[in-house]
Amino acid sequence: MRLPRIRIGVLHPRAAVVLHDLGMVALAWWLAKLLRYQLDHAGIAHFPLREFAVVLLVQGAVFAWTGLYRGLWRFASVPDLWNIARACALGTALVGVALFLLDRLAGVPRSVLFLYPLILAFLLGAPRLLYRWWKDSRPELFGARNSRCVLVVGAGRAGDALLRDLRRDGQYRVAGFVDDAPALRGARVQGVPVLGTLAELPRLVQASGAEMLLIAIPSASGAQMRRIVGQCERAGVPFRTLPRFEDILSGRAQPNELKPVAIEDLLGREPIDLDWDRVRAGFAGQHVLVSGGGGSIGSELCRQTARLGVASLTLLESSEYNLYRIARELRTAFPDLLLQPLLGDCGDPAAVRHALQRARAQVVLHAAAYKHVPLLQDQLRQALRNNVLATRTLARAAGEAGVRSFVLVSTDKVVNPTSVMGASKRIAEMVCQAEAQRHPRSAFVTVRFGNVLDSAGSVVPLFREQIAHGGPVTVTHPEVTRYFMTIPEACQLILQAAVQGRSGDIFALDMGEPVRVQELAEQMIRLSGRQPGRDIAIVYTGLRPGEKLFEELFHAQEDYAPTGHPKLFLAAPRAVGADWLDAHLARAAEAVAAFDQPALERVLAALLPGFRSDAGDAAATVLPFARTGRTAPQQGDPA
């Protein structure tokens, strides 16, 4: 009994399919002639071998030409059936021609040419569909006892595809769908019923005995996801979600890959619709240099520009490990990319000139900066040296090198700055405006945006770490709000601004609605499976120097206007005298070299007369609040 199994095992699956289909061709021809002569009792059916050989040869060639053997039975579907019908019709026509040329269709009634394709299509399609049904149903038929009962939220295309995958996998048994669409009420998807609406979810979980909820709405907005997650939490069972479409398209996730709901899913907005033709035309074939290419923003800019088909990509980064990490990632993901990772400081004129010459840079994306608000508050020298003087060094060298475009990555903290970080980035914006006057052949563009999720030093990784250690989670103030955007979203809009901006333009990104940091902390605690206040405490530590209760995107003197892109706004820049700015920055450079802190404070006051670094302390007294729980460690930037 084992010998036939061994012989079948060594037969290539594709060869087995070919033999099956040719066998079905012979059987279909035989049945067509037999049926024809059974209807005509006066006739006698003849089956000459030469006739069978012609039919097999012609029909087999048609199968190969139509690609019938490239399809997998495991995933047979309507397109495969259409291909079978096409191959049968074409094969019948060519078989008829071949037999006519051979012997004028002697012994082949015309009705056989009508019956043959119908029988053949059935004999080829039925085994494929039965095989797929068997593979899809086998887990449900034989593995239901060990599978986990689940409900799927969303009965659209994503839910349908997820159901197919779950059936193949066999680890989950779908008891039903939950969907708010009135047209789906009482309907069935692949035989699985739509049980009710999202509002009924807690009751449906109890009634069905579901052990997990699977969210299959990858196109859901942040507001929709918050509502869905709220109902899932009330249902009291674990839940997972499919990745968003933009994550799949960018390669950050796989289709139908179930993952825990992340805070990014709840804060997400409508997908950004870029003018990809314009962005691709602006970067394809260009030599691009990214400063701070190993940081959170810089590394994502590298990934996105590499996908746009740049001629070369040069990274200028001061951190050895960050440069090594992103260079290794890019070489793996883009093996054909001409990549030049360079260690260097943007404040080193020789290193900057060398990087620009080696890169032959046409586009410079300046993402290198110190961004940690509390840390920089007492380190004015380092903030001005890195965020201001290094920006001037790179921008001036880029202008002298004749780059087409220089893009400064800025922050919303430059508007009415109360922190040293915000003040230093505001002066960096002034530097770019001055260089735009000095180098009219190059376009100097500034892009502002707020907090980015999961960036280095942002609140999300801090909260995640504190939750992992059991708390407490530290929030500076119960009323503090911040704008949030994902890193890929921010970088996409930076690239859009880079290609449509003119020299001196200041763009601000549409950051959506501000988010209360307290609610963000509570939601992250709940997503971890715990309850705020009961399992993990939230401790209010007070606004620190330099911090605001809320952020602003535009200054009162900056009239802003819409652009051709709905997510980009254009701020009218305030006038900056290039010679006046150079004189103050020369004094700043001397003070940096001498480590003269009082002189740096005088320069800052001269450049930004309205700047008050103690504004954050004043803001902290606006609303009284009580400290609860244990004393929180004073680390990170919770706001």
- Rounded to an integer, the average pLDDT of 18-34 is 82
Which letter, b or e, does each residue of 135-174 get, where b requires 16 or more Cβ atoms within 10 Å of its Cβ? ebeebeeeeeeebebbbbbbbbebbbebbbebbeebebbb
Q: In whole angstroms, give the CA distance from residue 366 to residue 347.
A: 12
For every residue of 295-340, DSSP letters joined together read SHHHHHHHHHHHHTT-SEEEEEES-HHHHHHHHHHHHHH-TTS-EE
Handedness of CA 181, 187, 191, 197 (dihedral sign): positive
Tokens of 68: 């019938």
Name the nearest CA neighbour of 498 among 386, 362, 399: 362
| 410 pLDDT above the threshold of 60 | yes
Q: Which residue has the higher pLDDT, 496 or 131?
A: 496
pLDDT for residue 6: 41
Of 3.40.47.10, 1.10.620.20, 1.25.40.10, 3.40.50.720, which CATH number belongs to 276-620?
A: 3.40.50.720
Q: Which CATH class is domain 144-261?
A: alpha beta
pLDDT for residue 332: 92
Tokens of 78: 């309507």
Q: Is residue 305 very low, low, confident or very high in pLDDT (cuts 50, 70, 90)? A: very high
| 313 pLDDT above the threshold of 90 | yes
Give Cα 590 to chain centroid, integer Å.
45
pLDDT for residue 631: 34
Q: Which residue has the higher pLDDT, 586 or 639?
A: 586
pLDDT for residue 58: 86
182-186, 197-201, 596-600: the lowest-pLDDT one: 182-186
- Rounded to an integer, the average pLDDT of 381-398 is 94
Name the nearest CA neighbour of 555 among 411, 410, 412, 415: 415
Q: Which residue has the higher pLDDT, 353 or 238?
A: 353
pLDDT for residue 256: 58
Task: Enter the pTM of the model.
Answer: 0.66
pLDDT for residue 5: 43
Q: Which residue has the higher pLDDT, 182 or 257?
A: 182
pLDDT, tens only, 50-79: 887 888 888 888 888 887 766 666 555 677
Tokens of 568: 């980009």
| 27 pLDDT above the threshold of 50 | yes
Q: In whole angstroms, give the CA distance from residue 473 to residue 476.
A: 10
- Rounded to an integer, the average pLDDT of 155-161 is 84
Q: Residue 438: CA atoms inside 13 Å, Cβ hemisphere, count? A: 21
Q: In whole angstroms, give the CA distance from residue 285 to residue 282.
A: 9
- Which residues of the chain form CATH 3.40.50.720? 144-261, 276-620
Question: ω before 472 within 30° of 0 (cis)?
Answer: yes
